[in-house]
Amino acid sequence: MHCTCQKASLCRIAGNEVVHLGKINFDDNADLARKLFRMVNLIVEKAISDPQELAETWDYMPEQARLAVEKRDAIANNPQAKPAS
């Protein structure tokens, strides 16, 4: 299972366990609550922040280098595709 999916499942399952029928269980473990907040932050970082930072930084590369890498990656992701001459 993908790491981000595990984090999301952990938050969902733990959240369902501690909040039932609209009532918060005040006997919750404070350490677990901190870990769940950390999991949510890691999910946001992986799914939103990292891709945005990569996109912003990618634009600093010289255009020819970007195009060469994008062409290489397109071929690697689709081996049947023939590179344009």
Q: What angle do CA 77, 82, 85 make, to 5 degrees?
A: 125
Give domain limits for the chain: 3-77
Give 3-30 pLDDT, tens digit per residue: 878 888 888 887 777 666 666 665 667 7
CB 16 within 8 A of CB 45: no
Choose the weakest-confidence range: 4-8, 47-51, 52-56, 61-65.
4-8
This prediction's pTM = 0.57
